[in-house]
Amino acid sequence: MEFEIKEEGRFKYIETGGEGENLLLLHGLFGALSNFEGIINHFAGKCNVVVPILPIFELPIRKVSVTGLVDYVGDFVVHKGYDKVHVLGNSLGGHISLLFALANPDRISSIILTGSSGLFESAMGTSFPKRGDYDFIKTKTESTFYRPEVATKELVDEVFDIVNDRNKAIRVIATAKSAVRHNLGDKLHQIKVPTLLVWGREDQITPAFVGEKFNELIENSRLIFIEECGHAPMMEHPKSFNQHLENFLEEVSEREMN
């Protein structure tokens, strides 16, 4: 299913429309719209699924940070006039989701995190890869998943393009460093809305213990592990992920009605 990328001022996004609740999807540092294809296709008729394209490579360099992206999401939600959203984030998108929720608790119906940063993450190792090393990028991209074949050539090429573009690489490094500085360990107790944690058991970037720590620190949270799964459960096991998400959203809606 193809969805048009809409442009309104400084915002670029996908929106499925419809009468359902708003499900806001936030991608990660190396994320793309294709990462959420399974969620969009499954929930398009049940929710208003919205995917803002985060301006990681467009923000003024002085604003390149996790907080700059959180401000962008906040401005986008105001621009669209959404009253409340269910916010779902993968990797860096989870980190942004949490910061957005902390800053705007009255706009949040629920939070869904999968492979979220914010407590601990191990992305590219101790140094950024040398430009031009396609095999290294291929190996690192494949290690995101339990099954290497999930890392298609198109996906590897996207990551390779980012690493080999000096402007993009600088922004990736700046954003990643900003994420490390914004550790949320001492703030997660403030989150009171229902929170679903879906983690790949074999996640190498935000390992299983990270999901367990989020579960410990977020009061109203539920942790689900998906076996034989890496850092992006919604890509590697879309049917299982979507079923867990659908059950959770139904529970949250029923609770709000009662």
Average pLDDT of the segment spanning 155-170: 89
* 3-class secondary-structure state, position 113: strand
- Ordered structural domains, the chain, with CATH: 6-121+183-257 (3.40.50.1820)
Q: Note the pTM of the prediction, 2 decimals.
A: 0.93
Q: How far apart are CA 90 and CA 83, in angstroms?
A: 23
Residues 6+ apart with CB under 8 A from 95: 66, 89, 116, 117, 118, 179, 182, 184
Q: How far apart are CA 240 and CA 127, in angstroms?
A: 34
Instruction: Give the pLDDT score at 46.
Output: 92
The 10s digit of each residue's pLDDT in 95-116 is 999 999 999 999 999 999 999 9
Angle ∠(208,197,254) on CA atoms, nearest 5:
160
Instruction: Give the pLDDT score at 124.
Output: 47
Instruction: Give the pLDDT score at 126.
Output: 40
Average pLDDT of the segment spanning 212-218: 98
Average pLDDT of the segment spanning 216-232: 97
229: left (phi over 0), alpha (psi -120 to 50) or beta: beta
Instruction: Give the pLDDT score at 218.
Output: 98
Which of 17-26, 90-99, 191-200, 228-237 is the least confident region?
A: 17-26
Average pLDDT of the segment spanning 36-41: 95
9: left (phi over 0), alpha (psi -120 to 50) or beta: left
8 Å CB contact between 94 and 70: no
Kindly give the pairing relationship between strand 85-90 and strand 11-15: unpaired
Average pLDDT of the segment spanning 181-200: 96
Average pLDDT along the chain = 91
Q: How long, in residues, is the chain?
A: 258
> Above 70 in pLDDT, residue 77?
yes
Average pLDDT of the segment spanning 242-250: 97
- Cα–Cα separations (whole angstroms), residue 154 to 35, 51, 235, 252: 12, 20, 14, 36
Rounded to 5 degrees, φ, ψ at 51 are -130, 95
8 Å CB contact between 115 and 199: yes
